[in-house]
Chains A and B, each alone.
Chain A
Amino acid sequence: MSLFGKKHDDKHEAHKRHTDIPEGEFPDEPLIVDSSDIDAVLKRFPNVVVDCWAPWCRPCLALAPVIDEMAVEFQGKVVFAKINTDKNQSFARKHQIMNIPTLLIFKNGEVVERIIGARPRRTLENMIKESLKV
């Protein structure tokens, strides 16, 4: 694994699970999700942005710090979650993920927007605000 990849892998894995967040509170960092708990996260929070990534995808790794920053910026309004498509292929298939990074924007459990490819932070913020009306 590359130096980059290692660093970012560790970071990706270092985030909390949704069960670490006390009832009634919102995370200030992206949650790690997988096929087993993504549904619970979508049920618990009305506005969720899911970052579909994989360790071999360089643009995904570049996007990671932007997601981290937006999780702080949107805390209380939008929850960010990261799913490793390599380890969660059923989720990737279900949502027909064919390019990564892909951001899936969920409103009340339904996909309302898909953002494909890494984009500048300002563009992402605008698309998230627009699609979730936050």
Chain B
Amino acid sequence: MVSNTEHFNVVVVGAGPAGMTAAIYAARSGMKTVILEAGSVGGQVAESPEIENYLGFESVNGMDLASTFRKHTERYVEIKEGEEIEQIIPEREIIRLKTGWSEYTADAAIIATGAHHRKLGCNGEEEFSGRGISYCATCDGFFFKGKKVVMIGGGNTAVGDALYLKNVGVDVTIIHRRDVFRAEAAHVKRLEESGIPKIMNSEVREIYGEKVVKGVKVLNKATGDVSDVPVDGVFIAVGVVPNTDFLKESGIKLDDIGYIVTDREQRTSLPRIYAAGDVTGGLQQIIVGCGEGAVAATTAYEDISNPYWKK
């Protein structure tokens, strides 16, 4: 099924903010560059209801921002969609990248595959998947209009999504396992003003139902009491895990959680391979991903011109 191998100076894996910025910088340095994207262009940005901390955009919905990014990027490089990397093989002079359909070689690869939602890990989460459980409020909120749901989590995504759900007419309650939110103060303030009910210091122990979700069992960590909250839907935003499974055999150094370890110049443990954005952990914000993408591409350019691995 593998067609002809195409060679690039730089192959960027992932079309989120980090990958798209890296590709623009690489292309503008004069390097022949392509982006391979397994899923959707824009990554997690495109699923965010509202973004208010990316410089130059006071308030923008994620899908629009992702479109803007895409339009800008496509002035310089092609984004090949539906290209999921199955294997990345570092060879002596090149990096070989295999997808389900094709094969690419590159002088350098920039990994910007981002992260995906973490599962909660409670009873019933698997059983009711697709039957009232969602990890994407902007995708699925509409189906719960006029219905009662809980939003589980306490970070920016959970708080932002809860506000979004309330705005589209969903009766939402937020459940957080700590007594304070991890989300930034501006978000928390808006949550307070919204009147969205909060269940703090509490963990969802079980999602139950009958064919579809009927409710959650919630443990109050302060009192030890378990209460029953009847709901039609459960939205989960309890952090992310890096998309690095495809790298396991490459020998690249990952940390304990699975994030790619890089130096300040975004070099990984393997020559010719760089990483940027959420896949490297740290402060997972759009502007940080963009910054790291710019650094990764610039380092790749310098290394290809003057390889440290040949010194």
> Quick check: which of A12-20, A30-38, A41-49, A58-66 contacts chain B, the rest being far away?
A58-66
Q: Which residues of A contact B206 (CB under 8 A)?
A: none
CA–CA, A86 and B62, complex, Å: 20
Cβ–Cβ < 8 Å partners of B63 in chain A = 2, 4-5, 56, 58
A2-B64, A98-B132 known; A62-B81 Cβ under 8 A: yes
Q: How far is the CA of A57 from the CA of B42 in the complex (A)?
A: 13
From 57 to 73 in chain B, residues with beta carbon under 8 angstroms from any chain A beta carbon are: 62-64, 66-68, 70-71
Q: In the complex the two chains form, is B212's CB within 8 Å of A86's CB?
A: no
A132 at the A/B interface (Cβ < 8 Å)?
no
Which chain A residue shows the least CB distance to B232?
A98
How many of chain B's residues have a CB under 8 angstroms from any CB in A? Answer: 35
Expressed in whole angstroms, the minimum distance between the Cβ of A1 and any Cβ of chain B is 9
Q: Is A77 an interface residue (CB 8 A)?
A: no
Contact (A4, B82) CB under 8 Å given A58-B42, A98-B130: no
Residues of chain A within 8 A of B130, CB atoms compared: 98-99, 102, 114, 116
B35 nearest CB across to chain A (Å) = 14
B139 touches A57 (CB 8 A): yes
Greatest chain B CB density within 10 A among A5, A54, A97, A99 is at A99
Interface check A133, CB cutoff 8 A: no
CA A121 to CA B80, docked complex, whole Å:
14
Beta-carbon nearest neighbor of B71 in chain A: A3
Cβ contact of A54, chosen from B66, B132, B142, cutoff 8 A: B142
A54 CA to B139 CA, complexed, in Å: 8
- Residues of B within 8 Å of A57, CB to CB, are 136, 138-139
Question: CB of B131 within 8 A of chain A?
Answer: yes
Distance, CA A2 to CA B40, complexed state (A) = 15
Chain B residues lying within 8 Å of A97, measured Cβ to Cβ, are 143
Q: Are B82 and A58 in contact (CB under 8 A)?
A: no
Residues 61-103 (chain A) with a chain B CB within 8 angstroms = 61-62, 65-66, 69, 85-86, 92, 96-100, 102
Contacts of B64 in A (CB 8 A): 2
Chain B contacts of A59 at CB under 8 A? 39-40, 47, 136, 139
How far apart sit A49 and B143, CA to CA, in the bound complex (Å)? 21
A16 to chain B, nearest CB (A): 23
Residue pairs across A and B with CB atoms within 8 Å: the count is 90
Contacts of A4 in B (CB 8 A): 41, 63, 66-67, 70
Closest chain A residue to B81 by CB distance? A65
What is the bound-complex CA distance between A121 and B86, given in angstroms? Answer: 12
Cβ–Cβ < 8 Å partners of A54 in chain B: 139, 142
Q: Which residue of B lies closest to A98 (CB)?
A: B143
CB of B140 within 8 A of CB of A99, answer yes
Contact flags (1/0) for B130-166 with A, using CB distance below 8 Å? 1111101011101110000000000000000000000
| B142 CB contact (under 8 Å) in A56, A58, A66, A69 | A56
Q: B100 — which chain A residues lie within 8 A by C-beta?
A: 120-122
Answer yes or no: B129 CB below 8 A from chain A CBs: yes
Contact between chains at B138 and A56 (CB < 8 Å): yes
Which residues of the partner chain A approach B70 to less than 8 Å between Cβ atoms? 3-4
**Residues of A close to B132: CB separation below 8 A:** 98
14 new A-B contacts, CB < 8 A, other than A2-B63, A61-B40, A99-B133, are A4-B41, A56-B63, A58-B42, A58-B66, A59-B47, A60-B139, A98-B130, A98-B144, A100-B140, A102-B130, A114-B130, A118-B40, A121-B100, A122-B84
* 9 closest Cβ pairs, A-B complex: A62-B40, A116-B130, A58-B46, A3-B67, A2-B67, A57-B139, A4-B67, A122-B100, A120-B84
